[in-house]
Structure 1
């Protein structure tokens, strides 16, 4: 073979192969997965506990951070779908308003299940690629536990203590994010979203309280394209 022709052809082939590999970076048909940590921080706006209760009896809900996974697929070069996979978050419910300062009156675990549609800006091979997203979230609440403090402050405390249940609800979750390429396969993902979510907490005494949670959701993760 003529070496004068072989060298340019080899260089051209290598460039084409590199371009094809690079195009796998968030291009149509690519799957991706991430592993990282997510923090859910409610922005609590509490109603008042129904009678019998002291006027202005309210609650505040604490934040939690847990490891999370996600799986997603690029539908086109710009549109993607992603599903975060969590393992449950534990939130403290503390007294507020008339019972501010009493401490934790209950705990509840949450498992938010969200499907995100995402629009990614710039080219698939861009070093930094911002995106906007909108998700539908089902917030599943479970393992609710009332505390001794709740029994002490609740004037309607029944024999055996006050039980607690929290309604699971749907909500919308808009957000933004950015991916930073490490190489053709690996990337770092930063994400912020807010879920618009309301729920009602019921006590076994027959009382209830409406709460707007609207949590901020922060995630940092390392991802892989395949």
Structure 2
């Protein structure tokens, strides 16, 4: 399914962006990107409340995902811009260490709402940049995995969370109509709190270190 979504997105970009590029402007105020993005979280377990519930050496990890993303950027000056992007990514949390292989939380859908301020170092066809800004992870859906359910957990809630992101990348101009290629890497600094419930009562709370890398590549159109 991931491959199908990415292939469909690439086909749409190939069909639409070259035509739109006739109206593009390499020095325009707006830039739009259609990219494939790898989301690579950690998921390490950092705290358990109440303590002693899990065996010594317990840990967790979150799996990776690849999703299509749409990026919107506005240039305040030739070298300074503001950027945000849109995607929904899905992950599962499984056990590590003493919990190796345990399915803990499944089908976690989240929106990593992010805004960065970027500085572009040159104004030529090859434009490296750096950026930084706030992020807010909005969790849309999740459910208890089979291992958690086997212990009587019937519901899981992951708290929405604020964090910070650093960014670096490069835009490469393909023609004088605003069409280009873009490669981007973001490092997020953000944690997660998961709450586990049985019959409506919270029975366990765990803290996790997410700190994902988010790496993207795709087509850009400046207008």
Tell me the TM-score normalized by structure 2. Answer: 0.81
1:197 aligns with 2:194: no
SS of residue paired to 1:49: strand
Instruction: Answer with 1 or 2: which has the greater Rg.
Output: 1
Say which of 210, 213, 221 aligns to 1:213: 210
- After TM superposition, the structure 1 = structure 2 runs for residues 25-44 of structure 1, keeping only pairs within 5 Å, are 25=26, 27=27, 30-44=29-43
Q: Which residue of 1 aligns with 2:144?
A: 146
| Matched residue SS, 1:134 | strand
Q: Tell me the residue number matched to 1:14.
A: none
Counting only pairs closer than 5 Å after superposition, residues 132-171 of structure 1 correspond to structure 2 as: 132-152=130-150, 154=151, 157=152, 161-171=153-163
| Matched pairs, number | 193
Q: 1:150: how far off?
A: 1.9
- Find out whether 1:129 has 2:138 as its counterpart: no
Alignment check: 8 A CA contact 1:142 1:166 kept: no
SS of residue matched to 2:147: helix
- What is the distance in 2 between the residues matched to 1:210 and 1:67? 28
1:225 pairs with 2:217? no
Q: Give distance in 1, aligned partners of 2:169 and 2:48.
A: 37
What's 2:94 paired with? 94
More strand by share: 2
Secondary structure of 1:73's aligned partner:
strand
Task: Give the distance between the partners of 2:92 and 2:197, measured in 1 at CA.
Answer: 18
Cα distance, 1:210 vs structure 2: 0.5
Superposition RMSD on alpha carbons, in Å? 1.9
Q: How big is each residue's C-alpha offset from its partner over 1:14-49, in whole Å with a ceiling of 9 and x where there is no partner?
A: xxxxxxx9x942x4x611111111111012331243
- 1:75 aligned partner: 76
Query: Aligned-pair distance for 1:168?
Result: 0.8
Give structure 1 stretches of 5+ with no counterpart: 1-20
Work out the CA distance in 2 between the residues paired with 1:47 and 1:122: 42
Conserved? CA contact 2:187–2:212, under 8 Å: yes
**Partner of 2:32: helix, strand, or coil?**
strand
Q: Counterparts of 1:48 and 1:74 in 2: how far apart (Å)?
A: 42
Note if contact 1:164-1:204 (Cα within 8 Å) is conserved in structure 2. yes
* SS of equivalent to 1:195: strand
Aligned residue number for residue 118 of structure 2: 118
